[in-house]
Structure 1
Amino acid sequence: MRIAVSSDALDGVAGSLADALRERGHQVVAVHGALSPDERDDWAWASEAAARDVAEGRADQALVACWTGTGASIAANKVPGIRAALCGDAATAAGARRWNDANVLALSLRGVSPALLDEILDAWFATPPSDEADDRANVAHLDAIASPPTDRPEPR
């Protein structure tokens, strides 16, 4: 799988993100933010760049990180077609892939240890998106929410 990676700092597990992906057989197609000497390292810019790699087809998924993971998640989710999930444990990572068909994994540099990173990545990559009709309908609705309103009924 082709994966883009971003981090706004070189703290915590940031320096090992690309290696952890490669160890699992994935191709790191781009690094952004503090991981690239030529780019702005602020979380909003770095996370947007990685998310755009996914949205524009240069990457299949992305991994974005900042101190809490929250800003990286918010920035990535602003890019149309992105479903970024902030995951602090393996169960959340599996759920994000299964029920939300998340295509961007957001991580906290403060809260994720090397051992926890391994657990999160293993769960993320081992879990396929659900084929259940209600789960697919929810993911489709996310796309509809992000699209300009047309004849969509107003929420009650």
Structure 2
Amino acid sequence: MKIAWGSDQSDHPVVRRLEEVLIALGHDIQSVPAHGGDWVDVGHQVGEAVACRCARRGVACCSTGTGVAMAANKVSGVRAAVCSDRELAEQVRLFNHANVLALSLERTAPEDVEEIVKTWLRTPDGAAQRDSVDRLETR
């Protein structure tokens, strides 16, 4: 699967672990042009890559995860969610149809990245929830 990803801190233990995990899982990762740049640009560019279908999903990181999620969510068709554990990663796919995963660099332990990312990538969209998401997007 092609995954757009980026972080405002390119030399962070969580970022290094994330890249290792995505490569080990066999995904085609596309670093956004602003990788290592401002969180607003990173979040927006990951969102744009997903919205234009240059990537199927996106992963964005900043100190809190909230900033990149907010920036990505400004892009039509993007549903970015901050996840801090496996359960939340599963729920945002099942209930919110999230296509961008936002991670906090300060609140996510490098040893938890693999479980969060694997769960988020392997959990299917919640078909029963798509009507709710569609209603949200038409407002």
TM exceeds 0.5? yes
> Which deviates more, 79-88 or 22-31?
22-31
Are 1:7 and 1:32, in contact at CA under 8 Å, matched by a contact in 2?
no
The reply to whether residue 3 of structure 1 matches residue 21 of structure 2 is no
Q: How does 1:1-156 map onto structure 2 within 5 Å?
A: 1-9=1-9, 10-35=11-36, 41-132=37-128, 135-145=129-139
Per-residue deviation, residues 88-140 of structure 1 (Å, max 9, x unmatched): 011110000111110000000011112211110121022101122xx121111
Deviation at 1:15, TM superposition (A): 2.2
3-state DSSP of counterpart to 1:3: strand
Structure 1: 4+ residue segments shifted above 4 A: none
TM-score normalised to structure 1 length: 0.83
Flag the structure with more relative contact order, 1 or 2, with Cα contacts below 8 A and sequence separation at least 6. Answer: 2
3-state DSSP of counterpart to 2:77: coil
Give distance in 1, aligned partners of 2:18 and 2:34.
13
Extract unaligned runs of 5+ from structure 2: none
Give distance in 2, aligned partners of 1:114 and 1:31.
21
Extract unaligned runs of 5+ from structure 1: 36-40, 146-156
Q: Which amino acid aligns with 1:21?
A: L
Comparing both structures, which one devotes a greater share of its residues to helix?
A: 2
Are 1:4 and 1:54, in contact at CA under 8 Å, matched by a contact in 2?
yes
Are 2:63 and 2:105, in contact at CA under 8 Å, matched by a contact in 1?
yes
Give distance in 1, aligned partners of 2:23 and 2:96.
24
Taking only the aligned residue pairs, the percentage that are identical comes to: 38
Give distance in 1, aligned partners of 2:69 and 2:63.
11
Give distance in 2, aligned partners of 1:24 and 1:136.
27
Are 1:97 and 1:124, in contact at CA under 8 Å, matched by a contact in 2?
yes
State the structure with more CA Rg.
Answer: 1
Give distance in 2, aligned partners of 1:11 and 1:130.
32
